[in-house]
């Protein structure tokens, strides 16, 4: 329904992520290969950090990424070592900047591919679960933003995997209360500017695609003549909805129901399981 990428590593120009790869995210905005919908033309967004300590910048637009001249201009001139980018295919909610990903709260970014099933049926119950001090910050009308504020409510800033587990558990409970069979479908990425966490999960166990790049050192050995690979630091990593190119061995699928944490060159994959409130 959407496509996204999360980059961390050596500072690169945004255009190196968004335009230059063979199957770049901007290419995916017109012709996604793996999504249920090939077109992601209902807006886009980019979030980037100048330094990990600062509030990230966001550039959001309701226009298709493929024909946006400002995105091309900025991408050729903004470099960053931590980038979130997202192209949107609306599942019904309005096409407006406040519905574009990544969402931001303080130093945190959040983006989502998927949906909360029958969102109108659970929207109010979920909004009520959002911490009252956070509620007024909700600006848009998407399920994705509510999921972010639930995660913030449940402690995203202190223990991201646990907070997301509780947020997803909360959505599943609310959905089941309404008789919704498979309430959650998601790949999600979130970051505080230092670590990126990516989640792949769906209530029915058939989640949207998600891949992460392999250890760059291994690839550098495998492809000794590829200059692009050799210019990147050992800690460089990408998590993506679909591979940006066909380099053999470059991408590994993130398993169903798991969470990847990427920090510097370290990457840790753990099982992800929603936490119901009774267990929290």
Interaction site with its own copies (CB under 8 A)? 30, 38-39, 41-42, 50, 57-64, 66-67, 69-70, 73-74, 76-78, 90, 93-98, 119-121, 123-124, 127-128, 132, 135-136, 138-141
Q: What is the 3-state secondary structure (H, E, C) of the chain?
A: CCEEEEEEEEEEEHHHHHCCCCCCHHHHHHHCCCCCCCCCCCCEEEEECCCCCCCCEEEEECCCHHHCHHHHHHHCCCEEEEEEEEECCCCCCCCCHHHCCCEEECCEEEEEEEEECCHHHHHHHHHHHCCCCCHHHCCCCCHHHHHHHHHHHCCCCCCHHHHHHHHHHHHHHHHHHCCCCCCEEEEEEEECCCEEEEEEEECCCCCCCCEEECCHHHHHHHCCCCHHHHCCCCCCEEEECCCCCCCCCCEEECCCCEEEEEECCEEEEEECCCCCHHHC
Of residues 47 and 235, the one with the C-beta less far from its own copies: 47
CB of 12 to its own copies, least distance (A): 15
Of residues 90 and 202, the one with the C-beta less far from its own copies: 90
CB of 56 to its own copies, least distance (A): 9
CB of 53 to its own copies, least distance (A): 14
Of residues 78 and 232, the one with the C-beta less far from its own copies: 78
CB of 8 to its own copies, least distance (A): 18
Of residues 136 and 205, the one with the C-beta less far from its own copies: 136
């Amino acid at each position: 329904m959407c496509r996204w990428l999360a980059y961390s590593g050596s500072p690169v120009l945004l255009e190196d992520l968004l335009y230059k790869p063979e199957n770049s995210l901007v290419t995916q905005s017109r012709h996604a290969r793996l999504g249920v919908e090939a077109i992601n033309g209902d807006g886009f967004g980019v979030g980037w950090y100048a330094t990990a300590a600062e509030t990230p910048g966001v550039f959001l637009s309701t226009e298709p990424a493929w024909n946006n001249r400002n995105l091309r201009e900025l991408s050729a001139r903004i470099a960053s070592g931590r980038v979130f980018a997202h192209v949107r295919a609306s599942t019904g909610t309005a096409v407006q900047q406040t519905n574009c990903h990544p969402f931001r709260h303080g130093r945190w970014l959040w983006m989502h591919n998927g949906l909360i099933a029958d969102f109108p049926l659970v929207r109010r119950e979920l909004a009520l679960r959002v911490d009252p001090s956070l509620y007024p910050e909700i600006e848009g009308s998407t399920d994705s933003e509510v999921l972010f504020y639930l995660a913030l409510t449940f402690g995203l800033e202190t223990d991201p995997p646990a907070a997301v587990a509780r947020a997803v558990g909360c959505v599943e409970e609310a959905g089941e209360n309404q008789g919704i069979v498979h309430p959650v479908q998601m790949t999600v990425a979130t970051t505080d500017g230092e670590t990126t966490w990516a989640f792949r999960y769906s209530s029915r166990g058939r989640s949207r695609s998600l891949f992460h790049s392999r250890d760059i050192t291994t690839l550098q050995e495998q492809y000794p003549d590829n200059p692009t690979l050799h210019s990147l630091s050992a800690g460089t990593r990408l998590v993506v909805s679909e591979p940006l190119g066909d380099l053999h061995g470059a991408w590994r699928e993130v398993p169903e129901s798991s969470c990847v944490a990427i920090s510097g060159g370290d990457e840790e994959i753990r099982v992800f399981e929603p936490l119901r409130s009774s267990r929290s």
